[in-house]
Amino acid sequence: MKQIRFSYQGLTASKHEVGIAGDFTSWDILELADLGGIYAITLPVESGTHRYKFIVDGVWMPDPANPHTEPDPFGGRNSVLIVESETAPSYDWQQIYENPSLLESNIEHYIDLIRFAEKRYELRVRWHPGIDCQVEAVIAEQPHLCRMVGRTNSHEVYSCSFEADQDQINIWLKFSKQGQQLFLGSSGFVRLPAEVHAKHITEDIPIFKIPAWVAEGVIYQIFPDRFCNGDPSLNPAFNRWYYANSRTAPKDGEKLRKNQEYFHFEEDWYDIANLKQNPYLDEGQPDWWSFYGGDLAGIIQKLDYLQDLGVTILYFNPLWEAKSNHKYDAANFMSIDPAFGDEATMQHLVKEAHQRGMKIILDVAFNHTGETFWAFRDCVEKGEKSQWWNWYDWKKWPLPEPLPPDFNPEEYYQCWWGIKDMPDLNYDLSREHPAENYVKEISKAEVNQSLVDHLLQTATWWLQSIGIDGFRLDVPDEVPYWFWQLFRNHVRSIKEDSWLVGEIWHDARSWVNHRYFDSVMNYAYFKDIVLEHFILQDLNALEFKARISEGLARYPHHASAAMMNLLGSHDTWRIATLAKDKLSHLKAALVFQMCFLGTPHIYYGDEILMQGEGDPDNRRPFNWKWEADALASEHRALLQALINLRKMQSVLQTGAFAWLDSETEILAFKRYGYEQTIEVYINITNAPFTIPNKVHEPLFTMGKCSQQNDVLVLRPGAAIVMKVDC
């Protein structure tokens, strides 16, 4: 990769906070150093075309020194950077064996060491692509064969795990092919083992521990208002103070004014027409303000249904009190929304789930509160006299009363995506939002301690008083890094085996580690790739395998095993709607999901082929009449069988992953460990595919699989999962 220097010089001599974000930083914001009024950073950037922006005092803008720009998806412009391919040639084994000086000779350039338990480590070796050879690590004089786990454009990644309890770990690497050997230690490449000097690692490597129950589980996501109405007495009557001026429908023939809300209850659970077209809004505008009455009692009633399906982790969208049906606009972080139930009911739900072997994680949004949040209301009333004034980034006060139809909240306070209902929280008193987000070291921040204390108290309440098992963290890249380090330490001090999973849609290497999150929602290296190959068919099999391999190269093995591998969520179109008439391809995608490395995620209703386009259509009430639909029943039975397969075969949960043949249009891979190997073949091509008949025990078949002489034939749309001789 080339080293590219980026610099920014302000129009004034005043001090600025300057960051850069682009596809080469996974859109994480990196801070530029102040070199006397010129702000600069040098970054390694791979060859190709890249998009980026500067962030100056919280404002995202293109690079003034770069004339090349293009429109971004939000009405602005990205700077465009073209990095030419490296001129250095690629090498084969014979070339580097004869002349090792062609390669970087510092062993630290090649290795990463991850400690995932008290005495357990994973060693990851970055090696040059195309130099085909065997890679071994010699650790404390013991050889460990390294397996290839993934590949990026610039390197291949090999891995091994080992146990060590000494204060010092000695490591050197061995590369070999056809009797020729190269050794790499602290003094560079040598040809004789007697000449290699081990790398001595003496520092105390922090433990990056992830709860075992995550990789072993299957996740089921519930949008509470739309799952099951178990207690009609809780149906919202909109008698809380914040509904006072938003519960009357317009008169016949009239429309809602701009920014006017109309909250109401849908009496018919199965009436979904307004989720696509609100009768009081212009064509194409849905109804965001309807409630269907789903509640905690309904979830408790359906725990047997969920247990029968086989899921073991329940992931709830927010449950705290809030004005909206989605609850991301909290009115009180430490509460249960009255339309869902009360604290005792939630505690009962947790107890019942735990008795069934199910864990519970809760969606929390700590980037912002709702405009109904008690601290924000105090600020609206008292202005700077409020003791919580600095919890928010205020620009002007007081707010107009009543709010005019053309009210622009960003003239008064910083808010999430300009939405008045979601004022942003102010973590760093020395920086405005979002400039505070990329600060990693707490020593560089002026901590808003009362806010931080309240958020940590919130975590304590949910973990101890309610008894949940972890958190799904909403838009965590819009909250300072240093806060998440505090949050992780606090949560783990309360419940050691709690799970922290972030909602990050891109490469999240800077987030997935011992400081921040165990894993993330795997949009970047699972969902998007699987949809593009199986459903949209924009990726051929070779491209799909390459993208999957890239994801496996990015994260430690135990983090990859805990990734939330989703096909859809409350933020995306329903997978069945995207699949349309490609139901066989959707089934094949499920086989891949349940047999791949990572924790499978099911969005409520996807198991029965529920439909839905964009928000809120993708949040339809659950179809509890599904048993009358033969296709829905068949699809649920398939998913149920795949979940059972995964739960019965531990190698599908935590075993290593490898492609069996990366050069064909067939998806063939294995999951393997010390005692077991499982092979998976999936055929979504238009032609039959044959494989050697090495079946010991067929564990699962789908579609037409037949035996002909000494081969198995997979017809189009077929898949087979089987044990083989190790």
Provide the β-strand partners of residue 134: 176
pLDDT at 87: 45
pLDDT at 289: 97
Please, which residues have CB within 8 angstroms of residue 86's CB and are 6 or more apart in sequence? 1, 2, 47
The mean of the pLDDT values for the chain is 93
Do the strands 2-9 and 38-45 form a parallel or antiparallel pair, or are they unpaired? antiparallel
What would the mean pLDDT of 60-83 be, rounded to a whole number?
Answer: 84
Residue 37 has pLDDT above 90, yes or no: no
- Range list for CATH 2.60.40.1180 in the chain: 655-723
| 10-19, 527-536, 690-699: range with highest mean pLDDT | 527-536
**By three-state DSSP, how is residue 386 classified?**
coil
pLDDT at 369: 98
Please, which residues have CB within 8 angstroms of residue 337's CB and are 6 or more apart in sequence? 319, 320, 321, 322, 327
Where is average pLDDT lowest: 36-45, 95-104, 495-504?
36-45
Q: How many residues does the chain have?
A: 726
Which of 473, 472, 485 has the alpha carbon at shortest distance from 440?
A: 485
Could you give the C-alpha distances from 575 to 363, 467, 534, 564, in angstroms and in order?
A: 21, 32, 11, 16
Phi-psi label, residue 327: left if phi above 0, alpha if psi -120 to 50, beta otherwise:
left
CA distance 437 to 30: 10
- Return the structure tokens found at 676: 């077991």
Fold topology of 2-83: Immunoglobulin-like (2.60.40)
- Range list for CATH 3.20.20.80 in the chain: 217-233+293-369+443-648
Note the pTM of the prediction, 2 decimals. 0.91
DSSP 29-45: -EEPEESSSEEEEEEEE
DSSP 71-108: E-TTSSEEEEEEEPPP-SPP--HHHHHH-GGGS---GG
3-state helix/strand/coil string of 427-448: CECCCCCCHHHHCCCHHHCCEC
- For tokens 């399906």, the residue is 309
- Return the structure tokens found at 41: 């950073």
**Which one of 337, 421, 478, 503 is the catalytic residue?**
503
Q: Encode pLDDT of 356-365 as tens digits.
A: 999 999 999 9
Q: Where are the alpha helices (DSSP H) in 250-322?
A: 296-301, 303-309
Question: φ and ψ at 517, to 5 degrees?
Answer: -115, 150
Q: Encode pLDDT of 566-616 as tens digits.
A: 999 999 999 999 999 899 999 999 999 999 999 999 999 999 999 999 899
Q: Where are the alpha helices (DSSP H) in 236-355?
A: 296-301, 303-309, 343-355
- Residue 513 burial (10 A CB sphere; 0-12, 13-18, 19+): middle
Please, which residues have CB within 8 angstroms of residue 346's CB and are 6 or more apart in sequence? 296, 319, 336, 340, 466
Residue 85 has pLDDT above 70, yes or no: no
pLDDT at 65: 76
CA distance 93 to 176: 9
Please, which residues have CB within 8 angstroms of residue 67's CB and are 6 or more apart in sequence? none
Burial 4-35 (b: 16+ CB within 10 A, else e): eebbbeeeeeeebbbbbbbbbbbbbbbbbeee
Q: In CATH, what number does 374-424 get? A: 3.90.400
- Range list for CATH 2.60.40.10 in the chain: 2-83, 93-207
Do the strands 69-71 and 313-316 form a parallel or antiparallel pair, or are they unpaired? unpaired
CA distance 172 to 137: 6
Distance between first and last Cα of the chain: 39
- Return the structure tokens found at 469: 């098992």
Q: In CATH, what number does 217-233+293-369+443-648 get? A: 3.20.20.80
For the question of residue 342 being annotated catalytic, the response is: no
Confidence of residue 694 (pLDDT cuts 50, 70, 90): low
| 63-72, 296-305, 683-692, 707-716: range with highest mean pLDDT | 296-305
Report the share of the chain in percent with pLDDT over 70: 98
pLDDT at 124: 98
Where is average pLDDT lowest: 194-203, 296-305, 457-466, 631-640?
194-203
**By three-state DSSP, how is residue 394 classified?**
strand
For the question of residue 675 being annotated catalytic, the response is: no
**Which one of 266, 295, 329, 474 is the catalytic residue?**
474
**H or E segment to which residue 630 belongs:** helix 630-648
Could you give the C-alpha distances from 399 to 20, 213, 406, 414, in angstroms and in order?
A: 34, 48, 13, 13
Q: Encode pLDDT of 458-515 as tens digits.
A: 999 999 999 999 999 999 999 999 999 999 999 999 999 999 999 998 889 999 999 9
User: What is the distance, to the nearest Å, from the Cα of residue 514 to the centroid of all Cα atoms in its chain?
Assistant: 16
CA distance 681 to 479: 42
Side chain identity at residue 383, one-letter code: G
Q: Encode pLDDT of 122-181 as tens digits.
A: 999 999 988 989 999 999 999 999 999 999 878 999 999 999 987 889 999 999 999 999
CA distance 110 to 98: 20
Fold topology of 93-207: Immunoglobulin-like (2.60.40)
Which of 95, 112, 111 has the alpha carbon at shortest distance from 103?
A: 95
CA distance 249 to 255: 9
Which of 459, 472, 582 has the alpha carbon at shortest distance from 520?
A: 472
CA distance 644 to 646: 5
Which of 318, 338, 339 has the alpha carbon at shortest distance from 327?
A: 318
CA distance 317 to 365: 10
CA distance 347 to 306: 18
pLDDT at 169: 94
The CATH class of the 655-723 domain is mainly beta
Q: How many CA atoms lie within 13 A of 134 on its CB side?
A: 12
CA distance 292 to 232: 10
pLDDT at 434: 78
Provide the β-strand partners of residue 110: none
CA distance 274 to 672: 49
